[in-house]
Amino acid sequence: MTEFELIEKFFQQTPKRSDVVLGIGDDCAIVEIPELQQLAVTMDTLVSGVHFFENAAAFDVGYKSLAVNLSDLAAMGARPAWVTLALTLPEANEIWLKEFCRGFFELVKRFNLQLIGGDLTRGPLSITVQAQGFLPVGKALTRGGAKVGDLIFVSGTLGDAAFALKCLREKIPVDESALAHLHRPEPRIELGEEILTLAHAAIDISDGLAADLKHILEKSSVGAVIDVEKLPLSDALHAAVSEDEAFALALNGGDDYELCFTAPASLADTFCEMQLPITCIGKITSQKTLELQQNGKIYHGKTAGYQHF
Ligand SMILES: [Mg+2]
């Protein structure tokens, strides 16, 4: 099959949006940004053998390559709209492509996106996705707005993806729910939109809570205290490892793609009423350090309890 036949067969299945004037098939796509909206743009590359195992299921590769980008849009509170895809393939393996597209388009359809263009080339397997979403003018949720006294929240549970990855690397059996966290993370798009006008700062957790929270602290020129007892851990992780190990995975493991955000303490009740899938894990302080506590005392576990940055 030629490049054009492959595109026709696999990539024209995208939903069509009314704000796309011209989609796949010309030199460029033409799109229309709604009035009073700004465009949030993000891009990520996944390379075989670096970001995923060489024998990874094509469905999961397709799903995750888009999920990680949608997670970045969620972290800014943006509503996803369009996506472009650059796919480098060692060969035109139609079985692989079909499965890749099944994973990729599952999220495209769920979030009402349109694939508006891309590139298909031959070479070592690598996937680059660019996602674009809308934000009301001037309202983006950035890393820079955290204020002293803010509470710190995270969505979902933490550490499951890192635990699954550790098990795969060490060839230890691991249950399906932990694997799902690693291979098919849930982009927190709805949550991002819900907190857009309420939160002060946000980030998505791709490199581990501690590392990503530090980006907020640096950009906002503040510090934080985290209570490790409050870290949201799944039952599966609780059951599989020691408490210290679970805290370490939740703090330093990557690939969770949950949101971490700060908001005024006065909003705690509002969040509760909104029944958001979030947990309060600590608060923003004026000391420019990230301090870990356990029940009010400095935490002396496996992870450093006191980190300057
Ligand atoms: Mg990010």
Per-residue pLDDT of the chain (309 residues; tens, 9 = 90+): 788 888 888 998 899 999 999 999 899 999 999 999 999 999 999 999 999 999 999 999 999 999 999 999 999 999 999 999 999 999 989 999 999 999 999 999 999 999 999 999 999 999 999 999 999 999 999 999 999 999 999 999 999 999 999 999 999 998 888 899 999 999 999 999 999 999 999 999 999 999 999 999 999 999 999 999 999 999 999 999 999 999 999 999 989 999 999 999 999 999 999 999 999 999 999 999 999 999 889 997 766 444 444
Which of 103, 82, 95, 69 lies closest to 184, judged by CA? 103
Residue 258 CA to residue 163 CA, distance in Å, equals 15
Residue 72 CA to ligand 1 center (angstroms) comes to 5
Tokens describing residue 39 = 């465009």
Residue 66 CA to ligand 1 center (angstroms) comes to 13
Q: What confidence score (pLDDT) does residue 305 get?
A: 42
Backbone angles phi, psi at 36, to 5 degrees: 65, 20
Residue 75 CA to ligand 1 center (angstroms) comes to 7
181 by Cβ neighbours in 10 Å (0-12 / 13-18 / 19+) ranks as: buried
Q: What confidence score (pLDDT) does residue 308 get?
A: 43
Direct distance between the N- and C-terminal alpha carbons of the chain, in angstroms, rounded to an integer: 53
**pTM of the complete model:** 0.95
Residue 83 CA to ligand 1 center (angstroms) comes to 17
Residue 43 CA to ligand 1 center (angstroms) comes to 10
Residue 205 CA to ligand 1 center (angstroms) comes to 7
Residue 161 CA to residue 178 CA, distance in Å, equals 6
Residue 185 CA to ligand 1 center (angstroms) comes to 13
- Cβ atoms of residues 68 and 131 within 8 Å: no
Residue 196 CA to residue 292 CA, distance in Å, equals 27
Are β-strands 223-227 and 289-294 bridged in parallel, bridged antiparallel, or unpaired? parallel
- The amino acid sitting at 150 is D
Residue 206 CA to ligand 1 center (angstroms) comes to 6
Q: Tokens 């907190």: give the residue.
A: 195
